[in-house]
Structure 1
Amino acid sequence: MFPGQSFTSPTPEQDPPKKGQGILEFALVLPVLLILVLGIIEMARAFEAWLVVSNAARTGVRYGVTGDYNASNYCTGSPAIADLDGDGLACEQEDNKADRTAEVDYARLLSIYDAVNSAEVAIQLDRSASQGQPGYIHTTVCSFVNAPQNNQYNPPPADTCQQPGPDGVLGTGDDIIADDPGNPEEGPTRILVSVTFQHPVIAPLISSIMPSITLHAERTGYLENFRVARVLAIPPNPNVPTVTPAPTDTPLPPTATPTPDCNNYVLGTFQYYGSGLLEIPVSNYDWGDAEVESVSIDWQYAEDFGNQVRGRNINVDFMQWDDIRRDEYGQNGNPSFDWDNLRRLITSDGNGGPQFNTPPAVSVNPIPSDRNDFPAGYTRYIRLDFDNQWSNWQNDLLDSDYGVTVNFTNGCVLNRPATPRPIPTRTPTPTPLPACEGTTSLPGPMLDPADGWFGRDIGTTTTGTSIEEAASLPDANPARQIRICGSGADIWGSSDGFRYVARTSDSGILEFQARLIAYAAPGETPNAWAKVGLMIRSATNPSAAHAHMLTAYANGKRFQYR
Structure 2
Amino acid sequence: MGTIARAAVVPGKVAHLQQAWTARPWRPTGMSSSSASSSTFDSTRGHIRAQGMVEFALILPVLLLTIFVIIELARVLFAWLAVENGARFGVRYAITGDFDPAQCITLYGGPCATESQEDGARIPSIEKATRAGAVAILKDDSVSVVGEPGFFQVTVCSSRTGVAFLPGDPDVPTASSCVPVEDAGGPGDRVVVSLAFDHPLITPFVSTLWPKLHLTATREGIVEQFRTARVIGLPATAAGPSPTPSNTPTATSTATPSKTPTPSNTPTPTPTPRCSEIYISNMWISGRDEIRATVRNRNVASAYLTTTFFDWTQNGSEYIDWFRFFYRYWGGNDSNPPTGPIGSSVNFPGMDNERWRADFDNEPSGGIWGDFSLTLTFDYPGWGQCVASDSLFVPRPPTPTPTSAISATPRPTRTPGPTRTPSPPTNTPSSPSPSNTPQPSTNTPPPPPPPPPPE
Q: Which bin holds the TM-score, normalised by the shorter protein? A: 0.3 to 0.5
More helix by share: 2
- Normalising by the residue count of structure 2, what TM-score does the alignment of the two structures yield? 0.38
- Determine which structure has greater relative contact order: mean sequence separation of CA pairs < 8 Å that are 6+ residues apart, divided by chain length: 2
- Normalising by the residue count of structure 1, what TM-score does the alignment of the two structures yield? 0.31
